[in-house]
Amino acid sequence: MALADIIDKTRQILYGAGLGEKPALVFGAADALESLSGPFVSFDLATGLGGKAGPGDILSVRTPVSAAAAFVLYVTGVSTDTVTAVNGYEGEAVADGDLDNAVLEVNAPSSYNGLALLRHVETVLGNLIYPHIFRLDNEAVTASITTGEAEVPATVEKIRDAMQVIASETWRIPFELQKNLPATISSTGKLATLGVYDTSVVHLIVEEKYLTSDTDIPAEVESIIAIGAAALAAGGDVTAANMERGSKESQKRGERDVSASLWRDFLTLRQSKSEELAEDVEYFEIIR
Q: What is the DSSP letter of 113?
A: S
**pLDDT of 79-119, one tens digit each?**
999 999 999 999 999 999 999 999 999 999 888 999 999 99
**pLDDT of 224-256, one tens digit each?**
999 999 999 988 765 554 444 444 444 445 455
- The rounded distance, in Å, linking the Cα atoms of 102 and 30 is 8
**pLDDT of 36-86, one tens digit each?**
999 999 999 999 999 999 999 999 999 888 888 999 999 999 999 999 999
Mark whether 214 and 173 lie in a shared domain: no
The CATH number linked to 58 is 2.40.10.170
Domain boundary among 154, 185, 208: 208
Domain range for 268: 1-20+112-134+210-288
- The rounded distance, in Å, linking the Cα atoms of 116 and 210 is 20
pLDDT value of residue 234: 87
**pLDDT of 128-152, one tens digit each?**
999 999 999 999 999 999 999 999 9
Mark whether 14 and 117 lie in a shared domain: yes
Q: Which amino acid is at 167?
A: A
Quickly list H helices, 113-196. Answer: 114-123
pLDDT value of residue 237: 67
Mark whether 124 and 264 lie in a shared domain: yes
Mark whether 160 and 288 lie in a shared domain: no
- The rounded distance, in Å, linking the Cα atoms of 229 and 14 is 10
